[in-house]
């Protein structure tokens, strides 16, 4: 029975993603994009969860790794014959080579991991507020470099002509892989050690856990998964700008994670799918949609609803929709708090 429960914690989120893909394959081309976006969002949110959920340290920076993965994968798959024309300023090694779809996804994951590791070595010493500000700084730096440095990418212009290889199949396979890695990690010795530091850093150190090292592992793994998710994302969109992987995506994905429940994989998946579903509905509604009566929302209403929802969840149910529990886990009497890495000094 116990083994079944454990398996279900992996199978339930994976099955949900596959089911989304299957349902999506029966819909029209115009609606399919919503299902694709939802599946890709799950990948990004699970990648963020691997670090933020397990460590309890806030990071605004994970979208940097999505961005780097997306641009690396995108730039390297633009067909050679058009690349010299559209991206003339690239370093020759980037300009004169092109790689296949699968190789570009591997590259995205590798570069995401490498970047996260480099950033993580110093940054993982920080926690709480300082970690929040420092990771935000990473996001700003990444965005600034991607926007201005035309030797590594398109700069302020749109990167287009990226092959649209992420259909429902590739999205589902990639995202299920991300979920499987996240699950394997949180069941491993490393994942458990990190979760111990989340609950009580001092006690974890006392039993010999190296907090810095465990956080760095998770940060690097999260970077790899975020890079891969970025690769899937750019191959879904076909074209991308640096602004698409910046503040708004950071906000939306954090909202998904918080709404679902920060401390569980199930929460990350549920949050991403639920918010994507709502998001698709709202963006349809911004164009006007009939459900018995016609809803016609003004532009921008989408993010207002999302922001309200996120604030409401944070205030009323800080543990998220799933209460921070894995699929099938019994409701605990205590707990269900958001991960805290510092005891609050505020007043009760």
Q: Which residues bind other proteins (CB under 8 A)?
A: 56-58, 60, 122-134, 137-138, 140-141, 144-145, 148-149, 201, 211-212, 215, 251, 254-255, 258, 298-301, 303-304, 306-308, 310-311, 314-316, 318, 338, 340-348
Cβ 316 to other proteins, closest distance in Å?
A: 8
Classify 100 in phi/psi space as left (phi over 0), alpha (psi -120 to 50) or beta.
beta
For other proteins, the closer of residues 174 and 271 by Cβ is 271
Nearest approach in angstroms of CB 312 to other proteins is 9
Q: How far is the CB of 143 from other proteins (least distance, A)?
A: 8
Residue nearer to other proteins on the CB measure, 27 or 308: 308
In sequence order, what DSSP letters do the residues of 34-67 get, joined into one string?
HHHHHHHHHHHHHHHHHHHHHH----S-HHHHHH
CB atoms within 10 A of CB 201: 18
We find the least distance from the C-beta atom of residue 7 to other proteins, in angstroms, to be: 32
Q: Output 48 or 265, the one with its CB closest to other proteins.
A: 48
* Residue 78 vs 146, nearer CB to other proteins: 146
3-state DSSP assignment of residue 340: coil
Distance in Å, CB of 270 to other proteins, minimum: 18
**Least distance between other proteins and beta carbon 134 (Å):** 5
- The nearest distance, CB 145 to other proteins, in angstroms, is 6
* The token pair that represents 42 in the structure block: 């799950």
**228 vs 171: CA distance, rounded Å:** 11
Long-range contacts formed by 8-14: CB under 8 A, 24+ apart: 8/327, 8/328, 9/183, 9/265, 9/266, 9/326, 9/327, 9/328, 9/329, 10/179, 10/180, 10/183, 12/266, 12/327, 12/328, 13/179, 13/183, 13/265, 13/266, 13/269, 13/327, 14/176, 14/179, 14/180
Quote the least distance from Cβ 292 to other proteins, whole Å: 24
Nearer to other proteins, 294 or 343 (CB): 343
To which residue do tokens 């990648």 refer?
Answer: 47
| Residue with Cβ nearer other proteins (175 or 220) | 220
Alpha-carbon distances of 280 from 18, 59, 152, 190, rounded to whole Å: 18, 26, 33, 37
Contact predicate 286/298, CB 8 Å: yes
Comparing C-alpha atoms, which of 138, 133, 128 is closest to residue 57?
A: 128
Residues in the chain: 348
| C-beta of 177 vs 247, nearer to other proteins | 247
CB 306 within 8 A of CB 279: yes
Q: Between 108 and 134, whose beta carbon lies closer to other proteins?
A: 134
**239 alpha carbon, distance to own chain's centre:** 19
Complex with other proteins: residue 97 or 213, whichever CB lies closer: 213
Q: Return the number of the residue (95 or 136) whose C-beta is nearest other proteins.
A: 136
Question: Using CA atoms, how far apart are residues 33 and 24, in angstroms rounded to an integer?
Answer: 8
Q: State the Cα–Cα distance between residues 199 and 220, nearest whole angstrom.
A: 21
Shortest Cβ 149–other proteins spacing (Å): 8
Q: Could you identify the residue written with the tokens 């287009």?
A: 160
- The minimum distance between CB 40 and other proteins, in angstroms, equals 21
């Amino acid at each position: 029975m116990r083994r079944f429960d454990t398996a279900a914690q992996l199978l339930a989120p994976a099955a949900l993603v596959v089911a989304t893909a299957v349902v999506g394959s029966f819909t029209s081309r115009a609606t399919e994009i919503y299902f694709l976006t939802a599946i890709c969002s799950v990948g990004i949110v699970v990648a963020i969860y691997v670090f933020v959920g397990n460590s309890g340290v806030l990071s605004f920076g994970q979208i940097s790794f999505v961005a780097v993965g997306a641009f690396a994968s995108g730039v390297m798959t633009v067909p050679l014959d058009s690349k010299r024309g559209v991206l003339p300023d690239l370093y020759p090694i980037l300009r004169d080579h092109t790689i296949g779809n699968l190789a570009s996804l591997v590259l995205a994951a590798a570069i995401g991991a490498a970047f996260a590791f480099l950033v993580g070595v110093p940054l993982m010493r920080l926690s709480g507020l300082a970690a929040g500000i420092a990771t935000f700084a990473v996001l700003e730096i990444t965005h600034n470099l991607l926007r201005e440095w035309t030797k590594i990418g398109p700069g302020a212009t749109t990167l287009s002509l990226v092959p649209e290889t992420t259909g429902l199949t590739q999205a589902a396979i990639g995202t299920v892989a991300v979920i499987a890695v996240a699950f394997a990690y949180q069941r491993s010795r490393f994942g458990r050690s990190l979760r111990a530091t989340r609950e009580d850093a001092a006690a974890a150190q006392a039993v010999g856990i190296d907090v810095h090292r465990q956080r760095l592992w998770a940060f690097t793994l999260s970077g790899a998964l975020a890079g891969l998710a970025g690769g899937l994302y750019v191959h879904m969109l076909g074209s991308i700008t640096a602004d698409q992987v910046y503040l708004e995506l950071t906000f939306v994905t954090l909202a998904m994670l918080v709404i679902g429940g920060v401390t569980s994989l199930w929460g990350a998946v549920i949050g991403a799918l639920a918010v994507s579903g709502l998001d698709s509905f709202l963006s349809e509604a911004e164009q006007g949609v009939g459900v018995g009566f016609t809803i016609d929302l003004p532009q921008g209403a989408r993010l207002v609803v999302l922001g309200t929802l996120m604030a409401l969840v944070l205030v009323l149910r800080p543990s998220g929709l799933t209460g921070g529990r894995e699929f099938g886990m019994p409701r605990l009497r205590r707990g269900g708090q958001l991960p805290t890495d510092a005891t609050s000094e505020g007043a009760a």
